[in-house]
Amino acid sequence: MNESYDVLVFGAHPDDVELGCGGTVAKLVSGGARVAIVDLTRGELGTRGSAELRDQESSKSASILGVQTRFNLGLKDGFFQCDEASLMAVVDVVRRFRPRVVIANALHDRHPDHGKGAELVSQACFLSGLVKVETPSNPEPHRPDAVYHYIQDYERHPDVVVDTSEFVKVKMKAIMAFSSQFFDPESEEPETPISTPAFLDYVKGRDLAMGRPCGFEAGEGFEIMRPVGVNSLLDLV
């Protein structure tokens, strides 16, 4: 059954969305937008936690952000490719939810899955609009108006910055729903690059730095592969 959502947000792993654009998601929901999150993998190769635990953490975070729907495609963490089977799985989701806007992983990043996820979703959004690409369960073609890519570990120059000043606390609460992944002084699991106290400071600091050039207290940046078209430059002010 086809549904109509305003925004469909993809992450290669559970917590990618929260770290990259949690404030934007919370702001969209607060403004009345229908938003769904799709995790491509269960993050089963992560050093800390387990796939089952991350499933539970994903549900908790979704409730904090207020999104209407969140589910997992179950692709193989670390090994999924931009192949026909994976593309068709994403095409089916895009046609089911029929979003105006899609948000996906960073175009290039430290973790190879992030760039692969970005390519997979971008290509699937194009294929979803082709009449001769057949998806029996959701047969009607649909192509989103825009695909945006959030910024993750690598420093990137954003094309668009969203003012998330009022949603920093919600974002950090949603991130900390993934308690297995981030700093916990009582955890006996191995330390990772994201499990130190400094990493959470980095996330907050990055959002402060991203917002500053635009006059925002905090912001989240996005890249877009296609220029944004407007009727007038005044529409951008």
Domain assignment present for 2: no
> Beta-carbon neighbour count of residue 157 at 10 Å?
7
- Residues (pLDDT < 50) of the chain are none
Helix, strand, coil fractions of the chain, as percent rounded to 5: 40, 15, 45
Evaluate whether residue 179 is within a structural domain. yes
* Domain range enclosing 14: 7-236
Match 């305003």 to its residue by tokens.
6
Amino acid 228: pLDDT: 85
Q: Give the pair of three-digit tokens for residue 70.
A: 């969140």
Predicted pLDDT at 136: 85
Residue 192 confidence (pLDDT): 94
In the chain, the number of structural domains is: 1
The SS3 call for residue 59 is helix
Write down the pLDDT at residue 72.
98
Spell out where the chain has E strands.
7-11, 35-41, 69-75, 101-104, 146-150, 160-163, 219-224
Q: Give pLDDT tens digits for 200-212.
A: 999 999 999 999 9
Read off the DSSP letter of residue 213.
G
Has residue 110 been placed in a domain? Answer: yes
pLDDT score recorded for residue 196: 93
What per-residue confidence (pLDDT) applies to 1? 58
As to burial, measured by CB atoms within 10 angstroms (0-12 exposed, 13-18 middle, 19+ buried), residue 208 is middle
Domain holding 164: CATH number?
3.40.50.10320
Rounded to two decimals, the pTM is 0.95
